[in-house]
A = this chain, B = another copy of it.
């Protein structure tokens, strides 16, 4: 127990510059969350987790998320076993109001179109030499849905979970930066100023029946989406049934908060530079960026195609909201719309493709999982 052994038991002794890079990235996440308000509820936990995960642990001591028996290992189990994402979906369901979608079914298809980003990225990943399982997990980044991405990669390619999760959340946070240029590129001013008809009011009855029927449809078509969508629609039923408000309340507050804290922190803590800063990760970030661009484009173009057949034209900006990244992309659509015409309020209409996009990417995840998973 001399000075040297004390030094060897310290973190400085083992700190590599790669760890420093990651620590700076973690701090950057926190900085962006606080100053730019980018998805702070996720970037702050992830960012601090990245810092913690890059303090070199002592050889053989149960400290890191990868050291079996450590506390962080147990917290990370909720990620590896795919338990946190469905619980977050439960809370999201309990805070999501589907009425705009119920009042404007046409817009749902935009949420489907945006999933082209998932499958083209899947193909691109295969092309770049990833295994089918890995390609599926990378593709889902295009779903722009953090929990879905984490869930699918924990099932298909746990070895890539870190980079996939970080990529997904980074780009979700950057939606206000990524989407607008694409929106301007593919739409004309004339299209951007299209007003949408105010939707009809939705009855309580419709709202209560919806989660049940929607789950049956999705579950029967793609049982692989049962875990995520079962929880999403369960949460929504708790919200709409009116007789379980206290459960919905806990699901969308205490429960989702606790799970968000643990998920964000432990995902961040899993990004040790030595395993995280690899060529694969860089490829994943490139593919992820591409998937967001493709998804946004897909949504917009499909809206324009629909307009060829519709009397009442859709504002193609709404297509960009199909990417989900709820509710950020809907906000972006609203902002861009307002810039063109200060009397054009798209926020509410954008929520329809937005939530449809969540369902869409969950179905896509179910399909990829059931087709590519090894059972």
Contacts and interface: CB of A to CB of B under 8 A. Distances in A.
A371 B1 contact: yes
A89 to B, nearest CB: 10
A223 B63 contact: yes
A155 B67 CA distance: 14
Nearest to A31: B208
A34 B83 contact: no
A373 B61 contact: yes
A12 B253 CA distance: 35
A222 B9 CA distance: 7
A106 interface: no
A246 B219 CA distance: 33
Given A33-B243, A34-B241, A220-B11, A27 B250 contact: no
A357 interface: no
B238 A63 contact: no
Q: Bin the interface of chain A by size.
A: 35 or more
Contact of A208 (B34, B61, B224, B241): B34
Contact of A86 (B48, B69, B71, B260): B71
Given A72-B227, A219-B11, A261-B251, A234 B52 contact: yes
Contacts of A254: 250, 253-255, 257-258
A74 B63 contact: no
A33 to B, nearest CB: 6
A265 interface: yes
A243 B71 contact: no
A362 B247 CA distance: 26
B261 A238 contact: yes
Interface of A: 1, 5-6, 9-12, 15, 23, 27, 30, 33-34, 37, 40-41, 44-45, 48-49, 51-52, 55-63, 69-72, 74-75, 81-83, 86, 90, 155, 208, 212, 215-216, 219-224, 226-227, 230, 233-234, 237-238, 241-244, 246-247, 249-251, 253-255, 257-258, 260-261, 265, 369-371, 373, 375
Given A41-B247, A45-B238, A247-B260, 13 more contacts: A11-B222, A30-B241, A34-B241, A48-B212, A51-B216, A52-B230, A55-B219, A55-B226, A61-B373, A63-B223, A71-B82, A250-B254, A250-B258
10 contacts: A30-B212, A44-B238, A44-B243, A51-B212, A51-B216, A61-B373, A63-B223, A71-B86, A238-B261, A254-B257
